[in-house]
Amino acid sequence: MTNIQDFSGYNPTWCPGCGDWGIGIAIKQALIQLGLNPSSVAAVFGIGCSGNMNDFLNAYAIHSLHGRAIPNAIGIKIANHKMPVLAIVGDGDCYGEGGNHLIHACRGNHDITVIVHDNGVYGLTTGQSAPTAQKGFKSKSTPTGILETPINPLALTITSGATFVAQSFAGDVIHTISMIKAGIEHKGFSVVNILQPCVTFNKVNTYQYYLKNVYKLDESYKKDDFKTAVQKSLEINEEKFPLGIIYQKEKSSYTDELTQLKDDTLVGKKRFTDFDIITKLFI
């Protein structure tokens, strides 16, 4: 049985009170509760404060280029489709630089779990406004207020083809653990958008703000109904934040439909690790 120390790397350097602390603990606890160990899971990190977790989480992990965590995670999944693969990213990294990758990964229903630290800012580069920042948000990059309409991550991923879309709040670690576990257990493209206060650079979307505006979906909510899920996702535009599984649908994943993977994983076939065969290619 693994414990929290097995998944722990260097001591985190996040600001005291940052929502990343809650997310970091939730990820580790979710992996432990699923019976995984550092050698049985792969994680790809984006750039940003969330990406710094690459040093704090002990697992098979890489630090990708900015916005490129998802395609790297997809590559790992295709190479070994039996291994759980996580993409741990920030809202700027995933919805900004990586937005195009996100949309097409949803379309393909790739069996990876994307965990998004949604704090409305680029915290690592001192607080420029991210794609989820509300119109009018003032920051170092938008001193008179942002002009663009914010990305709605729930509506975007649901309508792009994701088969699991959930939302949680970094201030509720127990709920966040349950959403991450459900996302990993789901067979298909999973997005867990986590509302994460940045205590240093975002003085609007604070813990107090979210405690006032979040609410949990009850058991009567129909998470498998597409239209209901889209309508629920639009509540974000009214500063109401539903927590729970917004949408979930059973559908064949991308690797399920690859005939090359019916019998074994690509890494199991040893086509690219048998050096005697590889050497013959250069003769």
* pLDDT the model gives residue 215: 98
Which has more confidence, 281 or 6?
6
108 Cβ neighbours under 8 A, 6+ residues apart: 74, 161, 189, 254
Domains and CATH numbers, the chain: 19-280 (3.40.50.970)
Is the pLDDT assigned to residue 31 strictly greater than 90? Answer: yes
Is the pLDDT assigned to residue 272 strictly greater than 80? Answer: no
Per the CB < 8 A criterion, the answer to whether 89 and 115 are in contact is: yes
Q: Which residue has the tokens 């076939």?
A: 269
Is the pLDDT assigned to residue 281 strictly greater than 90? Answer: no
Give 190-221 pLDDT, tens digit per residue: 999 999 999 999 999 999 999 999 999 999 99
Per the CB < 8 A criterion, the answer to whether 45 and 114 are in contact is: no
**What's the pTM?**
0.94
Tell me the C-alpha distance between 267 and 25, whole Å: 31
Q: Which residue has the tokens 């794609």?
A: 131
Tell me the C-alpha distance between 31 and 229, whole Å: 27
Map residue 157 onto helix, strand or coil. Answer: helix
Give 63-120 pLDDT, tens digit per residue: 999 999 999 999 999 999 999 999 999 999 999 999 999 999 999 999 999 999 999 9
Is the pLDDT assigned to residue 274 strictly greater than 90? Answer: no
* pLDDT the model gives residue 271: 65
Percent of the chain with pLDDT over 70: 96
Is the pLDDT assigned to residue 154 strictly greater than 80? Answer: yes
pLDDT band at 140 (very low <50, low <70, confident <90, very high): confident
Per the CB < 8 A criterion, the answer to whether 215 and 242 are in contact is: yes
* pLDDT the model gives residue 273: 63
Give 227-263 pLDDT, tens digit per residue: 999 999 999 999 999 999 999 999 999 999 999 898 8
Following DSSP, what letter does each residue of 227-254 receive, concatenated? Answer: HHHHHHHGGGGGT-EEEEEEEE-----T
State both tokens at 184.
């990993």
Angle (CA) 56-98-79 rounded to 5° is 70
97 burial (CB, 10 Å; 0-12 / 13-18 / 19+) is: buried
Is the pLDDT assigned to residue 164 strictly greater than 80? Answer: yes
Map residue 256 onto helix, strand or coil. Answer: helix
Tell me the C-alpha distance between 275 and 186, whole Å: 36
231 Cβ neighbours under 8 A, 6+ residues apart: none
Bridge-based pairing state of the strands 85-90 and 113-118? parallel
Give the chain's mean pLDDT: 94
Angle (CA) 221-226-227 rounded to 5° is 85
43 Cβ neighbours under 8 A, 6+ residues apart: 54, 57, 59, 60, 61, 62, 85, 86, 87, 88
Residue range 33-52: mean pLDDT, rounded: 95
Tell me the C-alpha distance between 123 and 202, whole Å: 9
* pLDDT the model gives residue 1: 79
* pLDDT the model gives residue 267: 86
Bridge-based pairing state of the strands 128-129 and 121-122? antiparallel
Residue range 36-42: mean pLDDT, rounded: 96
Residue range 147-157: mean pLDDT, rounded: 96
